[in-house]
Structure 1
Amino acid sequence: MERETQYKKNSITLIGAIGLGTGVMISAGIFALLGQVAELGGKWFPLIFILGGIVTGFSAYSYIKLSNAYPSAGGIGMYLVKEYGKGTLTAFAALLMAFSMVINQSLVARTFGNYTLQLFDVGENSYWVPILGVGLLILAFLINISGNKFIQSFTSFVSLLKIIGLLIFAGAGLIVANFALSPAESSGQAPDTTIAGFIAAIALTILSFKGFTTITNQGAEIKKPKKNVGLAIMFSIIISLIVYILLAWAVSSNLALDKIIEKKDYALAAAAEPALGNLGVWFTVIIAIIATISGIIASVFAVSRMLAMLTNMDLIPHSHFGMPGHIQRHTLVYTIVVAMVLTVLFDLSRIASMGAILYLVMDMIIHWGVLVKLKGEIHANRFIVSTALILDGIVLAAFLWVKIQSDILIVIVSIIVMILTFIGEKWFLKLNQS
């Protein structure tokens, strides 16, 4: 099997890595998930982004310690190998991460479609949403085959552009609302908020922060990785948290809670109209388009490299299907094709729910490995890692409880995916060893 990977040492700067991290995070994370967070968390939903940032901060500690000890282009895949060896659990958890990233790509793609259509009078639930989403995925593929230098320059520039744009939107919205700190009002049509729902909403905010993990996949390519991977992760989370809080506050101040929930797939555009008029809607939609484009390019860039590394470690099956070129090019194709299928078949709520479940399970496996398997090697603070593990467990349990009551199908599908992935990997690795 061909082993060329095209990893280029020192090809990504610290700024480039931060651009990749924020590029993934500040995309569907705020544009698609804000309304869903409000639906679960109620009128104080802006606070949930702060709680999500705190949980993510605890989780990030494990990844920073791992990246300092084992900088690698394999990122999470390599960390799992260090924790559990080249076995079924490693392959299972790594694929859960890859699946959650591909799911995120379809989330971003549908978000792109939903926001773009706000510029046209085509009605809701239009078939144009998946069509535009698939078109964005094709664009992401074409850009990703252009190489690291272009990708990091493009994502860094666009990440800066969209952050400035979103801060302008948030600032304008808060000025219109006189910087009021009152919660989103409701006409009485919004669903009642429960404690379980409030905690479950944190799972979606964690999903909006999880883009920091894409930075770990560039460990072998980032300059001074033992220093810069951790710095890139911390700066990406902090920048994203600031943007999320200001945007959630602006939306909460300008749109009733029931309207935020009703327009949850494009809540920012809906909030722009009463605050800033039609010009505000256009401005918000354009920023959303820019954000989703950069987000999906950065995500595809990271997951295709992770899958290539897993292939090179003989942890997942691979077939060229007659395609020319190196393995990473093939995994790029697989990533795009699967994301296209999800974009066509599922709505935003279900895509986000499945992504959150798979990611949290994988995250807990990472923390357990740091806490138990590598306790004598990387000298991580056991209190911080234990807290991250417990918080993940609480959030996942609450999220599953809420989804069992409201949409049990997506819980069943997620469980089936995990079972089939584990069994499939066990069978594949057994065949490879025989």
Structure 2
Amino acid sequence: MGLQSKTKNLGLAELIAIALGGMVGGGIFTILGVSVSIIGNVTPVAIIIGGIIASLAAYSYVKLGLYYKDEGATYAFYKKTYPHKPFLASVIGWFVIFGYISTLALYAYTFSSYAISSTDFSGDIWIRKGIAIGIIGVFTAINLWSVNGMGKIEDIMVYTKLVLLSIISFVLMKHGETSFSNFIDTMAVDAEKSSVLNILIVASVTFVAFEGFQLVINAVNEMKNPDKNIPRAIYSAIVLAILIYVVIALGALFAIPAEKIIQNKEYALAAGAGEALGKLGSTLVIAGALLATSSAISGTVFGASRQLAAIADDGYFPEIVTKRKNKIPRNATLFMAVFASVLILIGGLELILEFGSVTFLLVSLLMAIANYKIKDKTQSSSVLTLLAIGGLTLGGLLILYYELKNQWQQMAAIVVLYILLAAGARFYSRRHKKKLS
């Protein structure tokens, strides 16, 4: 019992921080530009719809997480629900891990972009890449150092960034040129112009900004009272993410002209704060962005490395990845860091992000289907699970429609990435099968 109390280091606050760290990582700033370009001031409504879809997706993750209690999470749930389909389990494992690696690379690159945005080095691509790799190294070291230490640092970063971004957004709303009545009038006009299809497309694209809540389940072996803390942490984190995204969107829409939001994308909030509050305002936004991306890096390294180690334990990744020290998956953590650094060096992060986005939605749909199959065992509601399946299917089709309409070359490249990863999964699944025989 004494040993157990020492190893179960993560309480509810740390688990919420891990989920929020994985979600609020800078993606909302990029999505904001896309959303405003399509539906204008109706953007906050689409964000809320996206959050509802994410909550439905989370329902199956929570139920499966409580039933299986496996740090392998997505991969483990599918493997155990469909025990006679090892290749498909391997494919899901590979897709999920490289989806996390892609978002890890993006978070680090976003961090470095903000870090040097107000310096003379802002246009130097190699300094930007060097800082991005360096910040991955910092949080890799923290994760290897101590689970408890990582949890406490994640707490500080996540809750500080939430307060900071909220204050900035409220100040922007107060000092912006747009009044509340004008904002509502413009929203009504934009709602009339925007079709239901466009609002749902934006909601589906916004869903990507909620990627990260499932990282909580990867920490099941290191958390206190998983039966209560898994659902509490995941649902609390999603609600907080919806609130902070809506507040950020309102702050931007009140203070910054729509065309500037569309043009500047992730830097729009910093630019708007600079105009409304001067240098102090832009400095605060940059600080908030650095905290947002830092906590996202830390949370993603923590959760995804545990999932990777669990997949490797089954023989679907190189055996060296399975090595642990003091229950910390050291080699899996280093694997994540190395491959994310390679992605940063070779570039193409926008493409990699889209791959991660499509993967997250696809895998969430598969989890809902798996949960429906064993709904009696997980004590799940048929209605909520079917709603999740329907919502995620619709969201996936709408994202594909949007991508094919606007960036079909990018979708073609994503298909090639899936083929390459499927080939790797096939190789290791066959190798595993031979060992068993």
Partner of 1:419: 419
Distance 2:221 2:422 in 1: 28
- Residue 53 of structure 2 corresponds to 55
Counterparts of 2:122 and 2:317 in 1: how far apart (Å)?
A: 43
Q: Kindly indicate whether the alpha-carbon contact (under 8 Å) linking 2:309 and 2:321 is maintained by their aligned counterparts in 1.
A: no
Counting aligned pairs with the same residue, the percent is 24
Q: 2:400 maps to which residue?
A: 400
Question: What amino acid is aligned across from residue 289 of structure 1 in structure 2?
Answer: L
How far, CA to CA, are the matches of 2:5 and 2:347 in structure 1?
A: 34
Q: Show the 5 A alignment for 1:49-88.
A: 49-85=47-83, 87-88=86-87
Distance 1:354 1:307, change over 3 A: same
Do 1:69 and 1:226's aligned partners in 2 also have CA atoms closer than 8 Å?
no
The unaligned stretches of length 5 or more in structure 1 are: 1-5, 187-191
What residue in structure 2 maps to residue 367 of structure 1?
Answer: 368
In structure 2, the partner of 1:386 is 386
Match of residue 3 from structure 1: none
Contact 1:20 1:298 in 2 (8 A): yes
Letter in 2 for 1:412: A
Please identify runs of 4+ aligned residues in structure 1 that moved more than 6 A: 183-186, 323-327
Match of 2:109 in 1: 110
Structure 1 stretch displaced more, 422-431 or 209-218: 422-431
What's 1:136 paired with?
135
Q: Is the 8 A contact 2:102 2:349 kept in 1?
A: no
SS at match of 1:118: coil
Closer/same/farther in 2, CA of residues 128 and 181 from structure 1, 3 Å limit: farther
Q: CA deviation at 1:422?
A: 2.9
- Alpha-carbon distance in structure 1 between the residues aligned to 2:397 and 2:50: 15
**Equivalent residues of 1:354, 1:414 under 8 A apart:** yes
Aligned to 1:248: 249
Classify 1:122/1:45 alpha carbon distance in 2 versus 1 (closer, same or farther; 3 Å). Answer: farther
Deviations 1:368-409 (A, max 9, x none): 11112x133112111111111121121211211221232222
5+ residue gaps, structure 2? 188-192
Amino acid of the structure 1 residue aligned with 2:153:
F
Is residue 22–residue 212 contact of structure 2 (8 Å, CA) maintained in 1? yes
Could you say which residue in structure 2 is the equivalent of 1:99?
98
Deviation at 1:194, TM superposition (A): 6.7
Match of 1:339 in 2: 340
Structure 1 distance, partners of 2:229, 2:138, is: 29
Question: What letter matches 2:155 in structure 1?
Answer: S
TM-score (norm 1): 0.89
Indicate how the Cα distance of structure 1 residues 162 and 122 shifts in structure 2: closer, same or farther if over 3 A, else same. Answer: same
CA distance in 1, matches of 2:295, 2:399: 29
Deviates more, 1:124-133 or 1:230-239: 124-133
Distance in 2, matches of 1:416 and 1:348, equals 15
Residues 14-60 of structure 1 show CA distances to partners (whole Å, capped at 9, x for unaligned) of 11111111112122232443223334444422222111111001111
Per the TM alignment, residue 121 of structure 1 is displaced from its structure 2 partner at its CA by: 4.3
| Alpha-carbon spacing, 1:294–1:368, altered in 2? closer, same or farther (3 Å) | same
Distance 1:209 1:170 in 2: 19
Contact 2:321 2:335 in 1 (8 A): no
Specify the SS of the correspondent of 2:8. coil
> Is residue 315–residue 428 contact of structure 2 (8 Å, CA) maintained in 1?
no
Using a 3 Å threshold, how does the CA distance of structure 1 residues 318 and 174 change in structure 2: closer, same or farther?
Answer: same
Distance 1:21 1:368, change over 3 A: same
TM-score in terms of structure 2 length: 0.89
CA-based RMSD of the aligned residues comes to 2.7
Deviations 1:222-270 (A, max 9, x none): 1110111111001111111111111111101111122111111322212
Distance in 2, Cα, partners of 1:223 & 1:42: 43
Amino acid at match of 2:138: L
What is the distance in 1 between the residues matched to 2:363 and 2:357?
10
Question: How many angstroms does 1:316 deviate by?
Answer: 2.9
Equivalent residue number for residue 270 of structure 1:
271
Q: Displacement, 1:212? A: 0.6
